[in-house]
Chain A
Amino acid sequence: DVKVTQSSRYLVKRTGEKVFLECVQDMDHENMFWYRQDPGLGLRLIYFSYDVKMKEKGDIPEGYSVSREKKERFSLILESASTNQTSMYLCASSFGGDGTTEAFFGQGTRLTVV
């Protein structure tokens, strides 16, 4: 079974802190994604990566950066956390190709910025 593991289920950080959310997948997937999920807004794409060291902005990249130094690991970085970044963060991966493959999700990280 594909496994996507996010480093924390719950996280509480202070305003202004630098925050790292880690995601690891064990199926040699090409693509990895970071979404945030807020009530009434569904899932919104922050950043995605289709290869090591490659990244592309999603719909809401402001205030975030990412790192993909190894194929299995995709990190989301909040450079200076703000209260409006309180949210559920979901990492996903997929095999890659012509979009006919499913995305596998981690269990989510609920981040609270105080």
Chain B
Amino acid sequence: SQQGEEDPQALSIQEGENATMNCSYKTSINNLQWYRQNSGRGLVHLILIRSNEREKHSGRLRVTLDTSKKSSSLLITAARAADTASYFCATDAPESSGDKLTFGTGTRLAVRP
């Protein structure tokens, strides 16, 4: 079953603008992670936020987590053309074995030069 659903499905912005992507999930979680995928390649980990954290920063990335609403957002500030990629959230449930990650459907971000 799909745990995470990203919104919007696709986003197109101008270089220098901010990009915000949202993720909603259905069950309780240990942690939520965000990954990036360049076209036709594997995924690369961006940032992890624990269930007891509300906000986390890493460079131009800002992630928020609202466990009461079961949602998270990823903000990329001052986007660059090189940020063009698909972005996925991933969650793991407390009862899951083997740190099983469940991914959402992703947001395709296009940054126009």
* Residues of A that sit less than 8 Å from B by CB: 4, 30-31, 33, 35, 40-45, 48-50, 56, 58-59, 88, 90, 92, 94, 96-108, 110
The answer to whether A107 touches B41 (Cβ under 8 A) is yes
Contact A107 B99 (CB under 8 A): no
Of the listed residues B2, B31, B100, B104, the one surrounded by the most CB atoms of chain A closer than 10 A to its CB is B100
Q: Which 3 A-B pairs have the closest CB atoms?
A: A50-B98, A105-B42, A102-B45
Distance of B4 from chain A, by nearest CB (Å): 8
Let me know if A45 and B100 touch, CB within 8 A.
yes
Report the count of interface residues on B (CB-CB < 8 A). Answer: 29
A4 to B42, alpha carbons, bound, how many Å? Answer: 10
Given contacts A42-B88, A56-B98, contact A108 B42 (CB under 8 A): yes
CA of A49 to CA of B40 in the docked complex: distance in angstroms? 25
Interface membership of chain B positions 82-113, coded 1 if the CB is closer than 8 angstroms to chain A and 0 otherwise:
00000010101000111111111110000000
> Please, how many angstroms separate the alpha-carbon atoms of A103 and B89 in the complex?
12
Some 16 contacts from A to B, beta carbons below 8 A apart, are A31-B98, A31-B99, A42-B103, A42-B105, A45-B102, A59-B1, A88-B40, A90-B42, A99-B92, A100-B48, A101-B99, A103-B43, A103-B45, A106-B42, A107-B42, A110-B40
CA distance A103 to B98 in the complex (A): 11
